């Protein structure tokens, strides 16, 4: 039961994250901003709408969002909570989580290509390229966490805090995970979710032709994915395992809030990178991860 | 002890940063950061000693490596015309990869070399060697003369780092080396100026025109 | 063993009947019937016998050398499985493709003769227990595809591809003959047991040389980097059902041979394992990056085979590293992962090639630039291609993921190996595996998405329609196999485990423990996969309920305020991969050339995007050109005067007599 609390929390609270990010951005720009619960309102509105389906599209356009959301949901099953391990956990489960997210990506890419729109093709192409580069970086940071963990699973690796006194290199892991978060969730500086020009978008341009419940699935799936990576980042830092459940939850939620605010701050103070600079950002993160891994293994 | 580790890991990161940077002015700033970290090293490694040798060394390094050189380099840079970006022969991601490979090689080398136990604190030797490698990589894999100066500087910083634990009694040796390098960088600054005048660029690839 | 005999007999009868019928329509019935019957009999034999059983039989044989010795053990059965499954599917698919009258219909008899011969050769290679017998079967198996590839030999590309295949096959065979001859001479016998015993006693001198010879010989068949160049030339030109058998059954034979050679050569050394790991990773990364860059569906699939065989080689390498370090958990997981990946790759790749073959027959081209929108016109083929694409990209819930997961488990277990470099090597290999997974996703999103989704780019693609039940039956059969493989992944893994447990020198206790762990993991993954499928289905149902309640409208694709979009404006194969091609210019090797009239209003412009293979153009082509020049220089002795030729013979005989006596 305890293990499922976190899943329920994720399912309920995830749409709050985009709201908080927007609020932070608005405040930084001197505006009041949308309501914090705006994403919930959007979702409620979207499921009450009908769909508009392109003449070109096949069943893929409808299947894409559903499969994508289901895959993100399965990845969440493997994520440990602040007070308990994940409902399912086994050695190497981080790979299943990463590949579930991969399936979710493939489903959205195919749904985008299904419309035959060149703009959506553009977004799909960029999403495929950048996520492929983010994948090894994510795995390298998992490996750093794996060294010395009791079990090489997400539940075994996360929530132990930055163990070891002489472990400055472990400090990089949350930073790297944060960069992966920004890349995988298409946030600034990799992608600008609020730009007005389709030519410069990645994720948002892929979903141009989705509407109604399909769009609701996509928005909700994106929020869950953001929750997944934010929780990963937080649990890589905080030693929630050694705290009491209540304190663990408090620390975890505070951490999530902090990460969310950090995303908002990054989005407020940075501009989107030129697309060809993104691989360099990921390369840097990868080098840092490799450095961290080499030093961790060496110690 | 813990302080040393943090400094050394930071130094290794600085070495990678040398290879990842695209703008020349950032490169000179990184030199300053490396100088700062090096200045802290004698204090961290040697600890408080009665003759305050470490403090003297530290201050000397700080003055020369953290302030002197970067200032000289920045001044030279501001006088040079042209594009303010590093021009690589080897791509940035590959350079970074070679930097990590250099670290791995140094870690392996440390296990093969017969050092007296307790001579170097952990990670000091690999960090120093990585510094030398990435400095030389900067010399080899970048086009402009100023990156070569910075590369030599980074390599020299690695050698200096190796000397820190040995400087228990003979601080003056280290200081004299420091002075030598200072003069060398000074001379290089002047040479760079002349190269720029003669070739209207500091791309060392143009030296090819000097051969028979 | 009886089933095997029955299967071999069916192949033989099919071959003879086909060649006897010649070009008549009957050849197109009897040939495939023989192949189908033989494959089904073989399949029954493999599935009915207990997983760990081993049997052996020696038959009389007229040669002074070697023995006609056949055996079946878990490894043989495992490698025979894809041969039989693909043989059956390809026979039906080929019969449907070659039905009716066209330019090559008079060659159908010989075609089915060699098709049956290929399956016969494959079965014999995988059961031979004697070096001479193995080599003879190997030659049958290597030569038959040459004739199968050149079915449409009126096209110059086909002739060239057939030649490239023949040269590659024989460079490999030359290494293998050298390997087996050296081993036979030193061991003093030709049976595999004798050679293995000799290696165990340390009687084989220069085992490193033997290892390298075997590796080179089998790598040429597997298509590992840099011996991969024949795959992308041959696969696009061969008939699709032949390609399916070659990609899913025949290149595995190289893995099988390497497996036997490693068994024979005795206790491995660590460098051999790391060499295989490195070779596998380079092949995998290079293969998938090249696959991503290509615009032809079959060529893309060929490079994807390079990638997957690279992963298999990586698994074998992990096995050797584990054995050399005495860590049998690593060894077991690595070998299991490799074998499992062989099976799942065979199922996916066979299905993909048969789907591509349908596309070729219907549209007349497999260039992505000529396709598009096919899923709407051929829903079954489109759906199955996308299914197999998701599987071969290693995504759950299909079995491609299990193979990669077991390999990853081996690497995670390898993090406990002593020493800094092995640990970092394992971690680096895992990161590379992740990169391969990411790029595979991109490559197959491109292959499936751009060919089957969107709008048709040519009139031929717009008019495409399915070719009927018979043509689609083999696709459905393979799709059922793919689904069964996903459902019964633990059973398949334990099959692979049985074969891996027989690897010589394996310490059984830790190996079994590792297998049990992997099996438990696989079961959990299957459960989560089932949850995934149920969840997706439920969401889809919910979505349909909601849209039914709130209305569904059809409209044109939104053109971002541009009112006259055409199908030609869609993203193409070249533009889809352009970001990756810019990030990794060296392995992808994409060249973009824009020719445009000068001036402010250019009337004419052409853009050429090509991805030539640097290994072929910069390495092999110069070598073969040099060989050709050398051979041309020898033409002075070939002048056409017969009496002088006789003089050569006489002079040789005299010289030999004088030298030896």
Average pLDDT, chain C: 90
Domain with A233 in it: 2-298
The token pair that represents C237 in the structure block: 């030109």
Residues 34-53 of B with CB under 8 A from C: none
Contacts of C420 in chain B (CB under 8 A): 104, 107-108, 111
Pick the residue with more confidence: C3 or C277?
C277
Predicted local confidence at residue A47, as pLDDT: 92
Which chain C residues touch B104 with a CB distance below 8 Å? 420-421, 424
**With contact defined as beta carbons under 8 Å apart, do B33 and B14 qualify?**
yes
Which tokens is B184 given? 């060398």
- Residues of chain A in contact with residue B12, where contact means CB-CB under 8 angstroms, are 291, 295
Q: Are A175 and A259 in contact (CB under 8 A)?
A: no
Minimal C-alpha gap between C591 and chain B (Å): 18
Chain A residues whose CB is inside 8 A of the B99 CB are: 287
Between strands C55-59 and C68-72, the pairing is antiparallel
Measured between beta carbons, which residues in chain A are less than 8 angstroms from residue B122? 166, 299
In chain B, residues with a C-beta closer than 8 Å to the C-beta of A140 are none
DSSP state of C227: G
| Whether pLDDT at A179 is above 70 | yes
pLDDT at site B167: 66
Contact criterion met (CB below 8 Å) for B110 and B102: no
Torsion of CA C119, C121, C125, C128, to 10 degrees: 110
End-to-end CA, chain A = 38
In chain A, what residues touch C439 (CB-CB under 8 Å)?
Answer: 132
Summarize the confidence of residues A248-258 as an average pLDDT.
94
The answer to whether A113 and C445 are in contact (CB under 8 A) is: yes
pLDDT band at A2, cuts 50/70/90?
confident
Q: Tell me the per-residue pLDDT of C230-260, one tens digit each, with 9 for 90 and over.
A: 999 999 999 999 999 999 889 999 999 999 9
CB contact under 8 A, A103 and C580: no
- The pair of structure tokens assigned to C565 is 């979009």
> Which is nearest to A60 in space by CA: A124, A122, A14?
A124
- Rounded mean pLDDT of C535-560? 90
A9-13, B38-42, C424-428: the lowest-pLDDT one: B38-42
Q: Mean per-residue pLDDT for A165-172?
A: 72
Partner C contacted by A60 (CB < 8 A): yes
Using DSSP's 3-state secondary structure scheme, residue B48 falls into coil
Q: A98 CB near a chain C CB, below 8 Å?
A: yes
Condensed to tens digits (0 to 9), the pLDDT of residues C430-441 reads 999 999 999 999
**Are A166 and B5 in contact (CB < 8 Å)?**
yes
* H or E element at residue C553: strand C552-555
Q: What is the CA radius of gyration of chain A?
A: 19
Neighbour subunits, C (≥3 Cβ pairs < 8 A): A, B
- Which region, left, alpha or beta, applies to residue A16 given φ > 0 means left and ψ of -120 to 50 means alpha? alpha
Question: CB-hemisphere CA count at 13 Å for B208?
Answer: 4
How far away is chain A from the Cα of C294, in angstroms, using its nearest Cα? 14
Q: Which chain C residues have a beta carbon less than 8 Å from that of A125?
A: 571, 575-579
| pLDDT digits 0-9 by tens, A56-68 | 999 999 999 999 9
% of chain C exceeding 70 in pLDDT:
99
Residue with the two structure tokens 């590792």: C514
Residue B182: predicted pLDDT: 67
pLDDT band at C529 (very low <50, low <70, confident <90, very high): very high
Contact A287 B16 (CB under 8 A): yes
pLDDT on residue C400: 93
Tens of pLDDT, residue by residue, chain B (212 residues): 678 888 888 999 999 998 888 888 888 899 999 989 988 888 888 776 666 777 888 888 888 888 888 888 888 888 776 677 777 788 788 888 889 999 999 998 888 888 887 778 888 889 999 998 988 888 888 877 778 888 888 888 888 888 887 766 566 666 666 666 766 776 777 677 677 766 666 676 666 666 66
Q: Does C421 touch chain B (CB under 8 A)?
A: yes
Q: Do A295 and B9 touch (CB under 8 A)?
A: yes
Quick check: A283 and B103 CB within 8 A? no
Given B2, B13, B16, which is nearest A165 (Cβ)? B2
Distance (Å) from the alpha carbon of C587 to chain B's nearest alpha carbon: 13
Q: pLDDT value at position B202?
A: 66
Q: C69: helix, coil or strand?
A: strand
Model confidence band, residue C52 (pLDDT cutoffs 50, 70, 90): confident
Q: Residue A287 in contact with residue A257, Cβ under 8 Å? A: no
- Higher pLDDT, residue C463 or B164: C463
Q: Is C429 helix (H, G, I), strand (E, B) or coil?
A: helix
Q: Which of A130, A133, A298, A299 to mutate to test the interface with B (most CBs of B within 10 A)?
A: A298
Q: Are B150 and B192 in contact (CB under 8 A)?
A: no
CA nearest to B111 within chain A: A298
Give the pLDDT confidence score for residue C605 in this predicted structure: 86
The nearest alpha carbon in chain C to A151 belongs to C412
Contact A283 B92 (CB under 8 A): yes
pLDDT 10s digits, C491-501: 999 999 989 99
Q: What is the C-alpha to C-alpha distance for residues C364 and C104, in angstroms, rounded to an integer?
A: 16
Nearest to B2 among A166, A287, A288 (CB): A166
Nearest to A213 among C375, C432, C547 (CB): C547
Q: What mean pLDDT comes out for the span C80-100?
A: 90
Prediction pTM value: 0.92
- Note whether A106 contacts C441, CB cutoff 8 Å: yes
Q: What is the pLDDT of residues C374-417, one digit of tens each?
A: 999 999 999 999 999 999 999 988 999 999 999 999 999 999 88
Please say if the pLDDT value at position C287 is more than 90. Answer: yes
Over residues C179-195, the mean pLDDT reads 89
pLDDT in the model for residue B171: 61
From chain A, pick out residues whose CB is under 8 angstroms from the CB of B1: 166
Interface subset of C 445-484, CB within 8 angstroms of A: 445-446, 448-450, 453-455
Note whether C535 contacts A: Cβ–Cβ < 8 A. Answer: yes
Most C-contacting residue of B88, B106, B108 (CB-CB within 10 A), to test interface: B108
Contacts of C557 in chain A (CB under 8 A): 54-57, 115-117, 209
Residue predicted with more confidence, A10 or C101: A10
Cα–Cα distance, C378 to C376 (Å, whole number):
6
Residues A109-126: tens digit of each pLDDT: 999 999 988 889 999 999
How many CB atoms neighbour CB B200 within 10 A? Answer: 11
- A124 close to A112: Cβ distance less than 8 angstroms: yes
In 3D, which of B153, B20, B18, B22 has the Cα closest to residue B86?
A: B22
Is C158 a residue whose pLDDT tops 80? yes
Complex ipTM, two decimals?
A: 0.95
- What does the pLDDT read at residue B169? 59
Option in A55, A133, A136 nearest C554 (CB) = A55
pLDDT per residue as tens digits for the range C94-131: 988 888 766 666 788 888 999 999 999 999 999 999 99
Residue-averaged pLDDT of chain A: 90
């Amino acid at each position: 039961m305890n293990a499922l609390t976190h899943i329920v929390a994720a399912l309920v609270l995830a749409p709050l994250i985009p709201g908080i990010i927007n609020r932070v951005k608005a405040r930084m720009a001197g505006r009041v901003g949308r309501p914090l619960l705006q994403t919930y309102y959007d979702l409620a509105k979207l499921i009450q709408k009908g769909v508009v389906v392109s003449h070109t599209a096949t069943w893929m356009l409808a299947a894409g969002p559903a499969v994508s959301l289901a895959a993100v949901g399965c990845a969440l099953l493997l994520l440990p909570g602040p007070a308990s391990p994940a409902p399912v956990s086994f050695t190497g489960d981080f790979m299943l989580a990463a590949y579930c997210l991969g399936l979710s990506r493939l489903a959205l890419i195919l749904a985008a290509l299904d419309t035959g729109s060149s703009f959506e093709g553009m977004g799909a192409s960029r999403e495929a390229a950048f996520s492929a580069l983010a994948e090894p970086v994510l795995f390298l940071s998992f490996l750093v966490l794996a060294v010395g963990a009791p079990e090489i699973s997400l539940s075994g690796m996360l929530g132990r805090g930055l163990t070891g006194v002489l472990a400055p290199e472990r400090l990089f892991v949350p930073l790297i995970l944060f960069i992966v978060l920004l890349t995988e969730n298409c946030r600034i500086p990799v992608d600008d979710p609020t730009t007005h020009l389709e030519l410069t978008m990645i994720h948002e341009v892929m979903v141009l032709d989705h509407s109604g419940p399909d769009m609701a699935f996509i928005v909700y799936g994106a929020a869950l994915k953001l929750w997944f990576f934010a929780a990963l980042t937080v649990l890589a830092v905080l030693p929630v395992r050694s705290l009491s459940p209540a304190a663990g939850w408090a620390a975890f939620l505070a951490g999530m809030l902090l990460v969310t605010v950090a995303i908002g701050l990054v989005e407020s103070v940075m501009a989107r990178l030129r697309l060809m600079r993104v691989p360099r950002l990921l390369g840097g993160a990868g080098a840092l991860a490799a450095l961290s891994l080499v030093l961790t293994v060496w110690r | 002890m813990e302080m040393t580790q943090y400094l050394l890991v930071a130094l290794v990161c600085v070495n990678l940063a040398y290879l990842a940077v695209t703008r020349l002015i950032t490169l000179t700033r990184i030199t300053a950061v490396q100088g700062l970290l090096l200045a802290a090293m004698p204090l961290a490694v040697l600890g408080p000693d009665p003759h305050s040798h470490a403090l003297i060394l530290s201050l000397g390094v700080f003055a020369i490596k953290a302030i002197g050189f970067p200032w000289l380099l920045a001044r030279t840079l501001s006088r040079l015309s042209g594009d303010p970006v590093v021009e690589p022969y080897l791509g940035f991601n590959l350079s970074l990869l070679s930097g990590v490979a250099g670290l791995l090689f140094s870690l392996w080398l440390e296990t093969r070399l017969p050092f007296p136990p307790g001579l170097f604190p952990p990670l000091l030797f690999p960090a120093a060697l990585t510094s030398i490698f990435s400095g030389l990589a900067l010399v080899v894999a970048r086009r402009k003369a100023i990156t070569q100066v910075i590369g030599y500087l980074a390599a020299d910083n690695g050698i200096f780092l190796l000397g820190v634990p040995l400087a228990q009694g003979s601080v003056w040796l280290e200081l004299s080396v420091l002075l030598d390098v200072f003069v060398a960088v000074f001379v290089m600054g002047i040479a760079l100026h002349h190269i720029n005048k003669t070739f209207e660029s500091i791309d060392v690839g143009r030296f090819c025109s000097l051969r028979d | 063993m009886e089933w095997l005999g029955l299967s071999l007999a069916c192949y033989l009868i099919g071959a003879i009947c086909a060649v006897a019928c010649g070009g008549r329509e009957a050849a197109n019935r009897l040939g495939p019937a023989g192949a189908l019957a033989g494959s089904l009999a073989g399949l029954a034999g493999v599935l009915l016998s207990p997983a760990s059983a081993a049997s052996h039989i020696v038959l009389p044989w007229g040669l002074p050398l070697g023995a006609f010795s056949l055996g079946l053990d878990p490894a043989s059965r495992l490698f025979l499985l894809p041969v039989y499954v693909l043989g059956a599917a390809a026979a039906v698919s080929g019969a449907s493709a070659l039905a009716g009258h066209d330019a090559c219909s008079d060659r159908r008899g010989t075609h089915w003769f060699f098709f049956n011969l290929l399956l016969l050769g494959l079965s014999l290679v995988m059961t031979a227990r004697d070096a001479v017998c193995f080599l003879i079967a190997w030659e049958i198996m290597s030569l038959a595809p040459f004739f199968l590839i050149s079915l449409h030999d009126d096209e110059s590309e086909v002739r060239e591809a057939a030649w490239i295949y023949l040269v590659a096959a024989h460079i490999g065979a030359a290494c293998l003959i050298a390997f087996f001859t050296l081993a036979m001479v030193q061991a003093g016998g030709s049976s595999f047991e004798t050679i293995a015993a000799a290696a165990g006693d340390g009687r084989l001198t220069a085992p490193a040389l033997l290892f390298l010879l075997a590796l080179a010989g089998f790598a040429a068949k597997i298509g590992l980097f840099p011996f991969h160049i024949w795959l992308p030339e041959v696969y696009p030109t061969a008939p699709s059902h032949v390609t399916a058998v070659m990609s899913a059954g025949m290149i595995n034979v190289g893995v099988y041979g390497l497996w036997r050679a490693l068994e024979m050569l005795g206790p491995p050394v660590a460098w051999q394992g790391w060499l295989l790991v490195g070779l596998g990773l380079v092949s995998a990364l290079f293969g998938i990056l090249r696959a991503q860059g290509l615009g032809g569906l079959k060529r893309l699939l060929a490079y994807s085979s390079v990638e997957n065989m690279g992963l298999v080689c990586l698994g074998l390498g992990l096995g050797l590293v584990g054995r050399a370090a005495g860590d049998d958990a690593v060894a077991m997981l690595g070998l299991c992962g490799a074998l499992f990946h062989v099976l799942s790759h065979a199922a996916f790749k066979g299905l993909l090639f048969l789907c591509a073959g349908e596309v070729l027959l219907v549209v007349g081209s497999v260039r992505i630039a000529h396709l598009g929108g096919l899923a709407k016109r051929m829903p079954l083929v489109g759906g199955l291609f996308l299914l197999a694409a998701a599987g071969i990209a290693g995504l759950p819930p299909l079995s491609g993921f299990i193979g990669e997961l077991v390999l990853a488990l081996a690497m995670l277990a390898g993090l406990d190996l002593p020493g800094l470099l092995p640990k970092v090597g394992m971690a680096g290999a895992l990161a590379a595996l992740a990169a391969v997974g990411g790029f595979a996703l991109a490559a197959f999103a491109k292959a499936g998405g751009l060919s089957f989704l969107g709008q048709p780019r040519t009139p031929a693609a717009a008019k495409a329609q399915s070719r009927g039940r018979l043509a689609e039956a083999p696709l459905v059969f393979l799709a059922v196999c793919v689904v069964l493989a996903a459902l019964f992944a633990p059973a398949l893994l334990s099959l692979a485990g049985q074969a891996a447990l027989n690897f010589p020198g394996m310490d059984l206790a830790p190996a079994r423990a590792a297998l049990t762990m992997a099996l438990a993991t696989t079961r959990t993954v299957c459960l989560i996969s089932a949850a995934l499928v149920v969840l997706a289905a439920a969401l889809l149902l919910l979505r349909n309920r909601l849209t039914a309640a709130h209305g569904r409208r059809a409209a044109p694709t939104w053109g971002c305020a541009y009112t006259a979009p055409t199908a030609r404006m869609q993203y193409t194969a070249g533009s889809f991969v352009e970001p990756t091609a810019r990030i990794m210019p060296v392995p992808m090797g994409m060249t973009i050339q824009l020719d445009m009239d000068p001036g402010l209003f250019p009337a004419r412009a052409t853009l050429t995007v090509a991805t030539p293979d640097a290994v072929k153009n910069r390495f092999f082509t110069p070598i073969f050109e040099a060989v050709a020049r050398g051979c041309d220089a020898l033409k002075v002795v070939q002048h056409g005067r017969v009496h002088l030729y006789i003089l050569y013979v006489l002079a040789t005989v005299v010289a030999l007599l004088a030298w030896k006596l």
